Structures are given as structure tokens and as C-alpha cells.
Amino acid sequence: MERKHSESEMKEDQNEKEETVTAAPENASAYMLEVTDFSKKYRNNKNYAVQHVSFTVSAGEVVGLVGSNGAGKSTIIKSVIGVLPFEAGTIKVGGFDVAKQSESAKKLVGYVPDDHSVYEKLTGREYINYIGSLYGATKEQKKYVTDDLAKKFELLSALDEQIAGYSHGMRQKICILGALVHQPKLWILDEPMVGLDHQTMALLCKFIGDYADGEHSVLFSSHNLEVVRKTCDKVVFIREGKLANIVDLTKDRDFDLDTYYMELNEVDRDA
């Protein structure tokens, strides 16, 4: 369903989120993301959607979040970006506590949702500039996205067209560009390969690896284990809302992700 936002509402959102200079927390750690003993329960549900999950994402690291449908991957991601409140544990982004220092934490994050939520009445260029303004992106940062990245992702020719006319894949691309406009320290993607052709998938995989340099990190969820194998430094397996395993692929590139994933599913069926 299309989001309807008036121009005045968009300006109010921008004013509310105007960037301010925020000092790094005194207890800043080496991790870009720290999820510690995280638990989340949805209203009117007696069972936890996610319970006692802990993992980290270091600076310069690409981490994959893997699990079957309903395992809790999107719940974790939406709690990390500050959309969902949670019952227990802590989540820190760049040392900032998501629950207590939400604005400072959010400024460090770029998020690509799995539903391609965008302002359909805007053109691609207007959308990128608007998102950039919300996060305080510089003119140079916006220009880099609208010129260089739009060309790289083959969206340049459609950038001045209304998003309502974009295909599924084009909407995914504009969400990716919008998430990168402020050059976030932590880039988070929820099922980013869905709807992309093979060429764009290969391009995105390479770009994710290039983006995760010494200053930036990437966390993404995926069912595509081949993409995870080629792209990630570490894989966090989630099963039934709980941490099943953390695999460091930098130490074991021969780890059989497919077999392990199937074994997890067999456990689910046999339980």
C-alpha cells in the first residue's frame, strides 16, 4: 500500500530529525553492533519471538543473519534499527544504547527493508534527497548517490521518474541508494536479494564487500546461502527465536552452510 505524506508532513519529519552533533559515548567499544541477551515478545502472545540472543558485528565486518521463515530475523533487525521496543537485553550501535540513546544510534544506521517501503509520489532523485536531508547528508554525499551509485546500479535513467512507475527491482534499488545516502556506519539489509536479477545480485554482493571497510559494517538477512557464503565474514544462525550457532567464515571457508542449515530444519521438523 502506498504511503501518503503531504509536503508539510515531510517538512515536519525533516525538522524533527535535523542532525545534531553527537559525541561518541564514553563506553564506546570496538563493535559496531552489540546484541546482548536480547529478548522480544509481541503483544497478546505468551511466547517470545526472540529470546536470549547475543552476537556482535565488528567494524569492517559483513555478518549474515540466517534462519527459516519466522525464526526471528526481521524481529532482530527491526529492534536494532529502533522500530520495535523489546523486553530484555541490550542493543548498542556504535556504542549507543538503542533503547536509551535512540536518536544517536539511528543516525549511524542505513536500513533497506524487505517490503521496499518508499514515497511513491516522489521521483527517485527527490526520494534520495529527502532521505539525505533527514539524516543530514551533505550535498557531496547526495551527489555521490544520485550520480555515481545510481549509474552503478543502472538506475540513473529513471532517477527523475516517479517511483510509482518503478518495477519491483527498481524499487529495491532506490531503497538501497536511499539507505546509503548518509554513508551509514552500519548498513542493514533485510532480504536484499529478493526481486533482483542475477547481474544486480552480483553487483550488490561485491558492493557490500567493498562497503565494509575499516569504518563501515554490514548486517543482512538472507535465505540465499550462496550469497551468504561469498559475502559474509560471519554467519549468525537463528532457530525458533534462539541463537543456534555463530560461524566465523574467515576461519573456516569450507564450512558447509547448506548441510548445517538443512540439519537445523530437520531439528525443527523432528521437535
207 or 264: which leads in pLDDT: 207
- Provide the β-strand partners of residue 65: 221, 236
Mean pLDDT to the nearest integer, 258-265: 90
Whole-number pLDDT of residue 3:
43
From CA 153, how far away is CA 85, in angstroms rounded?
34
From CA 235, how far away is CA 254, in angstroms rounded?
13
Whole-number pLDDT of residue 48:
93
Cα separations (Å) of 31 from 6, 44, 155, 218, 222? 39, 34, 33, 12, 22
Nearest to 201 by CA among 213, 189, 183: 189
Q: How far apart are the first and last CA of the chain?
A: 38
* pTM for the full predicted model: 0.86
Of all residues in the chain, what percent carry a pLDDT higher than 90?
A: 75
Whole-number pLDDT of residue 35:
98
Q: Which pLDDT tens digit goes with each residue over 126-154?
A: 999 999 999 999 999 999 999 999 999 99
Cα separations (Å) of 122 from 5, 58, 119, 152, 264? 10, 36, 6, 21, 43
Mean pLDDT to the nearest integer, 237-247: 96
Instruction: Give the model's confidence band at 195: pLDDT under 50 very low, under 70 low, under 90 confident, else very high.
Output: confident
81 neighbors 135 (Cβ within 8 angstroms)? no
Whole-number pLDDT of residue 1:
42
Residue 53 exposure: Cα atoms within 13 Å on the Cβ side: 33
Given a cut of 80, is residue 93 above it in pLDDT?
A: yes
